[in-house]
Amino acid sequence: MARSSQLSMALIALVILAASPQARAEVGAPSVRVVSLSEALALAHQHQPSLHVAAARIDAARADAAVPRAEWLPRVSAGLQFDVGTVNQTSASNFPVHGVDIARIAGRSPVRSPDWMPYPSTFVGVGARQELYDFGRIAAQTAARDAQVRVESERARELQLDVDFGVEEAFYAVLAAKDVLRAAHDALDRAKADRALAEAGVRSGLRPPVELARAVAEEARLEAGVARADGGVREARAVLAATLGEPAADFDTSDVKPTAGAVTDLGAAIDRALAHSPRVRQLFAVVQARELETKAIAAEDRPNVVLDLVAFGWAGGVKPDGGPEAFGNGWAPTVPNYAAGISLLIPLWDARTDAREKASKAREEEQRLRLEEVRQDVVAEVRGTYTAFDVAKAVLPSLDKAVDAARANQEQAEARFKSGLGTSVELAEAEALLAEAEIRKALGEFDVARTRAALGRALAEGVTE
């Protein structure tokens, strides 16, 4: 009975399992670098662009956190002004008040009849403002920005876990593809030996020509299988290179297979995942950041104490009531002055601030609900990957037995064929059964390694404190 190509089916399954989110790249480098799993992970940490972007986001968050702290530094400014206007005056002076712009008027006594004649004025000055006391406003804003740094740090940790899992999966896929290739080569070698036996039997007249024709066809089928298996190895290596962040390079895995780490019971695994999962920690940091942002918005209504220092020169074109006129008749700021003062700025009410605070509180509740949702997702992921790993481990002994039984069957079929008791059909079926068992074992080992890596990703085993 004719069999479909088990090798082709296994290779298709391997390609599906080995597929990763990273775009596949063509292998362009002539030299091949052999790496262990630890070396592969180190290369990914060094070259994977997504990790560089995550580090840049953390740096940007730190830079944002430095903005409110800068309010404790003095602000220095300079100005130059020319204007024309009336000069109806009373004796008063003031510092500029934010939101209340008062024109400078000087040089005359109060008038009973307003003079609507415009006169020129000039001004040049340098001023400095220093924060003295903010009633906790800057500290609240700083805490909110620092919380965003923690959010980005947890996001980077989650991304690193994803990258590590992709590297592990691709690494094990290369190992599995090489095992499939070895199984294909072994099957082809056996087919060549079988074809030689059939050829000798036909020449001696002990075998009909159909035996040789069948052996030749089986050899050709397995040659095609070897070519496909070789392509599977090269494709898996290309995926590995992409996960390492060097898609143009060519990497191969060492033949030493990493051993899977011990796994605790399910309850302890769930507890670890909830404690260390970057997704949970990130959402928790987001909730804290939103709470601090709400406090920072509310702190904007707090008073502010500032020190103002100013040195300036000015002049007006109107004739003063007493004393000489200013040099230049107002066209040059030749009259020097200085002043210093402490101001208490009290925001009374701003509807926009109240609205922003309410909106921020609503976002707090949203993030709390999302945190609970993520906790449930993490528990479900741990249970799923834990079960998948258990199943993969439970299947592996049966696959080992299947290989041993298929090998014994092939040896018996070969012995029967050599003694003239068996047919080429019987031998071909035994050969196909052995090749299928070896390939299924390779895929089974890959499944164990992949599910263990997935469980490690769910447990956040790669997270360092």
34-38, 84-88, 314-318, 435-439: least confidently modelled range? 84-88
Choice between 97 and 127, residue whose per-residue pLDDT is larger: 127
Q: Token match 């701003």: residue? A: 350
212-239: per-residue pLDDT in tens?
A: 888 888 888 888 888 998 999 999 999 9
Single out the residue of 10, 457, 13, 18 nearest to residue 241, CA to CA. Answer: 18
pLDDT single digits (tens) 392-422 = 988 989 999 999 999 998 888 888 877 778 7
- Report d(CA 440, CA 436) in Å as an integer: 6
Long-range pairs, 269-272, Cβ under 8 A, ≥24: 269/382, 269/386, 269/455, 269/458, 269/459, 270/379, 270/382, 270/383, 272/459, 272/460
Q: What is the pLDDT of residue 249?
A: 85
Q: Is 368's pLDDT higher than 80?
A: yes
- What pLDDT does residue 335 have? 81
Give the pTM.
0.72
Phi, psi values for residue 91, rounded to 5°? -80, 105
H helices then E strands: how many in the chain? 9, 6
Task: Express each pLDDT in 272-323 by its tens digit.
Answer: 888 888 889 889 999 999 999 999 999 888 898 988 888 888 777 777 666 6
**Please, what are the domains in the chain?**
31-68+140-291+354-458 (1.20.1600.10), 74-133+306-346 (2.20.200)
- Residue 462's pLDDT is 66
- Partners of residue 306 on adjacent β-strands: 131, 343
